[in-house]
Structure 1
Amino acid sequence: MKILVTGGAGFIGSAVVRHIISNTQDAVVNVDKLTYAGNLESLAEIENNKRYAFEQADICDADAMARIFAEHQPDAVMHLAAESHVDRSITGPAAFVETNIVGTYVLLEAARKYWSELSADKKAAFRFHHISTDEVYGDLPHPDEVAIGSELPLFTETTAYEPSSPYSASKASSDHLVRAWLRTYGLPTIVTNCSNNYGPYHFPEKLIPLVILNALDGKPLPIYGKGDQIRDWLYVEDHARALYAVVTQGKKGETYNIGGHNEKKNLDVVHTICDLLDEIMPKEGSYRDQITYVTDRPGHDRRYAIDAEKISRDLGWKPEETFESGIRKTVEWYLGNTSWVENVKSGAYKTWIEQNYQERK
C-alpha cells in the first residue's frame, strides 16, 4: 500500500510514519504544514527510506491537495493533521475552526474526487481513516460523584457527542463531516477516537513532557485545580499500531475507540514522573517540591475513559505498554534525547528543516 498521512511530522503522526516504514513494506507520503508542533527531526531515522516521501503543504490548500493525490496516487489516507491543544483553542479558536473543520472538508473533497476516478478494484480497497479524540464525548462521571462501589461508565463508539472546548467541538465537527461524506457520497471512511497519548517526541506544551522538562529545569510543575482530573493514558507507539490495524483491517463506516486502559489522576501522573526522576536523576530534595497549583481552565472535563473492547474483539489489538512501563520509557527517552528537546525549545529545528528539505525542492 501507499498511505498518505496528514500531520505526519506531529507527535502521533510521526509515530505512525515511523511504525509503517520500520515494520511494514508499505510506502508513506507525509503531508504536513510544519506549524510550531510539526518537527521533521522526529522522522530523522526514516527520512532517507525509499518508501518515504514528504510534502510540505496545508490541508486547507485545495490545489495542493489535488496535486498531491494526483502525483502520489495513494491507496489510503490517514488524516491526523489538526490543531490539538485545548488551552490554545480557548485563547485562539479561529485556527482550530480553520484547520480541523475547513481543512478536513478540503481533504475530504480532494479524496472524494480522486477516489471517484479510481478503477473498481482500487475504489473498493480505498480507505479514508480520520483520527479523532475522546474529547468529542465531553466528560464522564468522576469517582467522587458516584456512590462508592458503583461501576463507572466508559466512552463507547455510540456515546453521544458533547464537546466542551473549541478544540473538541472542532474535532466533533470534523468527525461529522467524515461520516457525512460516507453517507452522502459513498467515500469509504473510518473514524477512530483515542484517549490521551504520551511517549517520545511529544511537543513540550502537553502535560507529561512539560512536567519532565520543567522538573529538570528546576521550574514549577503547574497543576490545574486540585489535579483530580482523570485521563486514560495511551502510549503513542501502541496507538500507532492500532491505527495501522484500523486502516488495513477496519471495516468502512465503522468507528473504533482506542484507549490504554490506564485511568490516572493528573496529580498521580505528575507524582509518578517526579518519583522516576528522583530515582534516575536524584537531586537535593524531591522533584515533588516543585509542584504548584494554578487556577483551573474554563470548561475543564473531569474524566475521560475509553472502552476499547471493539477494536480488541474485531481487530485483535491491545496495548502492549502499561502506564508504568510506558512512562518510564518516556522519561528515559527525554533524558537521553536532550538535543531534540533543546532544538524544539530553541526553534533550531526550523533551520535544520531548511538545510535538509528546502534545498531538495
Structure 2
Amino acid sequence: MSSLYILGRQPEIGIAELESLLGANNIKPIGTHAVLSSQDANHIPFSRLGGCVKVCKLLTQLPYTDWNKLITYLFSAAPQFLNYLPEGKLNLGISAYGFDVSPAKINASALQLKKIIKNAGKSVRIVPNVKNELNSAQVIHNKLTSKNGWELVLIKDKNQTILAQTVHVQDIEAYAARDQKRPKRDARVGMLPPKLAQIIVNMASTGNNRFGATVLDPFCGTGVVLQEAAIMGFSVYGTDIEPRMIEFSTENLNWLDETHEIGNFEWFVEEGDAMQVKWSRNFDFVAGETYLGRPLNSLPDEKTLQKIVSDCDHIHKRFLENIAKQIKPGVRLCLAVPAWKTNKGYTHLNVLDYLEKLGYTRQSFVHADSSRLIYHREGQTVGRELVVLTRK
C-alpha cells in the first residue's frame, strides 16, 4: 500500500468513491476515517476527490496503540529526518484519528517533540490542536504540506498504528469559489455542494472512462455536476425540464470557461423532461441529482410525507423507464435521490425496491454499505441517497 487517504465527514461515502475509482482490490479501510491504497497517490488527481480531505504518504506501521509509546517513538525518529529539510523554521502539526486522548494531551506531546527538534538544531513552530485532528484550514494556513511543513498523522487501526505525513489537503478556498462565485445560484432547487457533485461523477464514471468521455446530467439544474465533471476533463451534456435552469447552466458554464484554465471542454445543455425526452446526443455515463421533492424545513405529517414520496416515485420510475430505452447494457449511473429522515430512520423511494424489473442492477460495494450512502447535514429533513446502477 503506497498512499493513505483521510476521509471526510461521512467516511462510508468516501470509501465508496475510492472503491469506484481505484477498485476494491486496491483499497483497504483503516480505522474509522482512512483508506490505504496500493495505487500511487498521483494515480487520481487529489483535487478530483470530494469525499477525502487529505492524502498522505505512509511512513511506517507500529504494532501498538499506546499513546506514550507512540510519542516516544516520534522522539527517537524525528531528529533523523531533519537533515532532509531545507533551511528555515519547521511548522509542525499532529493529527490523531481514533485515539482516546485529549487535544491537551496532543499539545503537550507536541511541545515535548518541539524541544527535541530544537535540541537537534532546528527551529520549530507547533500548530496547536483544538480537536484531535487538524482541519483543512489549519493545514493550509500553516503551510503544513510545504517543504518546511510537517503534519504527522497517526491512525489507530485495531491493535496497530499507522504513521503518515500529509502531502495534499482539500482546497477549501477553491471549493468555496466554485460554489459561491458562480453567477447563477438558486436555493429553491437545492444547493448541491461541489464536493458532492464530484463524488456523484466519480461513482458514475469509475476509473475506466477515458478523458473526454461524455457525462449526461438529466436533471442539471444550475449545472454544478456539469461544472465539476468538466473540470475533471469530461465532456458534459445536461438537460432540465425548466428553461430557467438551462439559462442558469449556460451562464455558469460560460463563467467556468472564462475563469478556470481547464482547456477546451465540450458542453451542451437543452430543455428536456427526463420522464420522456429523447436525448439528442450520445453519452457514456449518467451522473446527477434528481428531483428531491418539495423543500422541507421540518418533517411533515405521515400523510403529507407519503404524498411527497409518491410524487417523487412517479418521476423516478418514469425517468428510469425512459432512459433504459436509450442506453446500452453496462452503462453506469450514479443518482442522488431523496431520502427523508424520520423518527424511525430514513424513508426511501419505493422504486428502489424493484430496480431489477426496470432493467437495472444496483451496484454493491465490497468496503462500503450501500444502504448507508446518504449524504446529509445536521437538521436536514431530506438527505441525498447515492444510488449506483448499471443497465442490465
Kindly indicate which of the two structures has a greater share of residues assigned to helix. Answer: 1
Do they superpose with TM above 0.5? no
* Structure 2 length-normalised TM: 0.33
Larger radius of gyration: 2
Query: By percentage of residues, which structure has more strand?
Result: 2
